[in-house]
């Protein structure tokens, strides 16, 4: 049941608990495990638009975080059996083990069309109708919610770079995905720190660059992190993605606003204005940055579906960001060049510092 009273029926899968959260839809054709285990979905119920899920099961090494943080999963058809030599367990068993409720057999086409019309809505589902109705009435969205605190790491840790890399990066974990670490490790050794780490503590690590990760919730609800990024601007090269993109934007003085139903999927076309090339990107965000009133900022990427901002760079300091997930593989690997751009930014900054 959605907060506006719209109802759908289906069969429960996963954990037998009432799910409550903001209902969004995701248009990926494959990669359901990566989506479910993406911490950026904390507080949200994920509706998959593709009809058939679970056919290749779940593989432990494909998890993007220590556990799923989403509030629930809505699908049309759950596969009766998995068929993949890599799979460790079924999707249903995975959801049960992780405590994530799900509902299958839902008319996800109708649900998606409704959300496209009215926007993302709070909602709930479960086996007890009275409890579900009560939960739907009290369910909340992500506006004003600090969900980063719930998903960030409890303590700093180190992720080694590949042999031969000498750069060091501090990565602020707002909901960091494992695949991001794998990509960053190609250019640097990473020291991952909690989102509450101060600017002084970050500088004391003596890194060559600062990375700000993806994450869930309203970027305006984490002002302390914005203040930390603002304090670090100009002292370290900065690369932000998704929530990191929004943190950098706010640190520069740009406002953020909520999109009607967000960008959630693996097929969003984005034009890189610096090269003219179009990338097919993976996205998961509800909020957008408005840099139109800022000086010293150049728009670098634009979403070709709705014209919204997908990337920018600072012209007077070493900082840039994109709104999408460049580490993902939504079929192609169009966006992996951004990690090399970050490496070049750090190298140029180090050379400039040495020249002084």
For 119-129, the pLDDT digits (tens) are: 999 999 999 99
In this prediction, residue 328 carries a pLDDT of 86
Q: What pLDDT was estimated at residue 332?
A: 82
User: Quick one: pLDDT at residue 163?
Assistant: 94
Average pLDDT, stretch 126-142? 94
What SS3 state is found at 272?
Answer: strand
How confident is the model at residue 230, as a pLDDT? Answer: 97
Contact residues for 100 (Cβ-Cβ < 8 A; gap 6+): 14, 15, 36, 68, 70, 72, 73
325 assigned to active site: yes
How sure is the predictor about 215, in pLDDT bands with cuts at 50, 70 and 90? very high
Catalytic residue among 268, 285, 301, 325: 325
CB count in 10 Å sphere of residue 163:
5
- Give how far Cα 295 sits from Cα of 253, 290, 317, Å: 10, 12, 12
- Could you tell me where the DSSP H helices lie in 159-240? 178-184, 199-203, 223-232
Q: Which residues of 7-28 are buried (b: 16+ CB within 10 A; e: fewer)?
A: ebebebbbbeebbbbbbbbbbb
pLDDT for 12 beyond 90: yes
Mean pLDDT of 228-250: 97
The answer to whether the beta carbons of residues 17 and 40 sit under 8 Å apart is no
The pLDDT confidence band at residue 356, using thresholds 50, 70 and 90, is low
- CA Rg, the chain, in Å? 20
pLDDT value at 183 more than 80? yes
Answer yes or no: 174 catalytic.
no
Bridge partners (DSSP) listed for residue 146: none
- Provide the sign of the torsion angle of the four alpha carbons 174, 178, 182, 183, taken in this order: negative
Residues 285-310 have a mean pLDDT of 95
Locus of tokens 């004003």: 144
Active site residue 288: no
Residues 6 and 20: their CA atoms lie apart, in Å, by 15
Q: What tokens does 115 get?
A: 């959300």
Indicate the range of 257-266, 314-323, 326-335 predicted with least confidence.
Answer: 326-335
d(CA 202, CA 46): 34
- How would residue 172 be classed by pLDDT, with cut points 50, 70 and 90? very high
Q: Is the pLDDT at 329 greater than 90, yes or no? A: no
Largest CA distance in the chain: 69
**Helices and strands in the chain: count of H runs, count of E runs:** 10, 18
Domains of the chain: 11-138 (3.50.30.20), 148-355 (3.40.50.880)
Q: What is the mean pLDDT of residues 190-213?
A: 97
Percent of the chain with pLDDT strictly greater than 90: 96
22, 279, 310, 327: the catalytic one is 327
**pLDDT score at 293:** 86
Question: Distance (Å, rounded) from C-alpha 129 to C-alpha 118?
Answer: 24
What confidence category does residue 331 fall into, taking pLDDT thresholds of 50, 70 and 90? confident
Residue 355 has pLDDT above 80, yes or no: no
Please determine, for residue 225, whether its predicted confidence score (pLDDT) is greater than 80.
yes
Give the neighbor-by-neighbor strand order of the sheet with 157-159. Answer: 157-159, 189-194, 168-173, 209-212, 238-241, 319-322, 309-314, 297-303, 256-272, 278-289
pLDDT digits (tens, 9 = 90+) for 26-72: 999 999 999 999 999 999 999 999 999 999 999 999 999 999 999 99
- The catalytic residue among 242, 264, 268, 279 is 242
**Percent share of the chain, pLDDT over 70:** 100
Handedness of CA 230, 39, 59, 57 (dihedral sign): negative
Q: Is 80 exceeded by the pLDDT of residue 241?
A: yes
């Amino acid at each position: 049941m959605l907060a506006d009273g719209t109802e759908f029926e289906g069969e429960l899968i996963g954990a037998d608990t009432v799910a409550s959260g903001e209902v969004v839809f995701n248009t990926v054709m494959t990669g359901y495990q990566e989506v479910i285990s993406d911490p950026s979905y904390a507080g949200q119920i994920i509706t998959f638009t593709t009809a058939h899920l679970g056919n290749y099961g779940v593989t432990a090494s494909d998890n993007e975080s220590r556990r799923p943080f989403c509030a629930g999963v809505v699908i049309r058809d759950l596969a009766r059996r998995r068929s993949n030599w890599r799979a460790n367990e079924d999707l249903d068993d995975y959801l049960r083990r992780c405590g994530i409720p799900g509902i299958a057999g839902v008319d996800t086409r109708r649900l998606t069309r409704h959300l496209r019309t009215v926007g993302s809505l709070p909602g709930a589902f479960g086996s007890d109708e009275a409890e579900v109705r009560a939960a739907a009435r009290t369910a909340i969205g992500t506006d004003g919610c600090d969900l980063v605190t719930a998903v960030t790491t409890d303590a700093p840790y180190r992720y080694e770079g590949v042999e031969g890399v000498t750069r060091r990066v501090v990565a602020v974990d707002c909901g960091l995905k494992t695949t991001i670490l794998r990509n960053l490790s190609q250019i640097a050794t990473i020291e991952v720190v909690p989102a509450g780490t101060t600017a002084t503590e970050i500088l004391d690590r003596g890194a060559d660059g600062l990375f700000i990760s993806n994450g869930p919730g309203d970027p305006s609800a984490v002002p302390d992190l914005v203040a930390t990024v603002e304090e670090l601007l100009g002292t370290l090269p900065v690369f932000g993605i998704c929530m990191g993109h929004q943190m950098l934007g706010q640190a520069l003085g740009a406002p953020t606003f909520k999109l009607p139903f967000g960008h959630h999927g693996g097929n969003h076309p984005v034009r890189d204005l610096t090269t003219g090339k179009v990338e097919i990107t993976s996205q998961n965000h509800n909020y957008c940055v408005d840099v139109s009133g800022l000086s010293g900022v150049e728009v670098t990427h634009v979403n070709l579906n709705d014209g919204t901002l997908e990337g920018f760079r600072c012209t007077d300091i070493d900082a840039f960001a994109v709104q999408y997930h460049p580490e993902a593989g939504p079929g192609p690997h169009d966006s992996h060049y951004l990690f090399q751009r970050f490496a070049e930014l750090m190298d140029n900054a180090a050379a400039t510092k040495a020249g002084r």
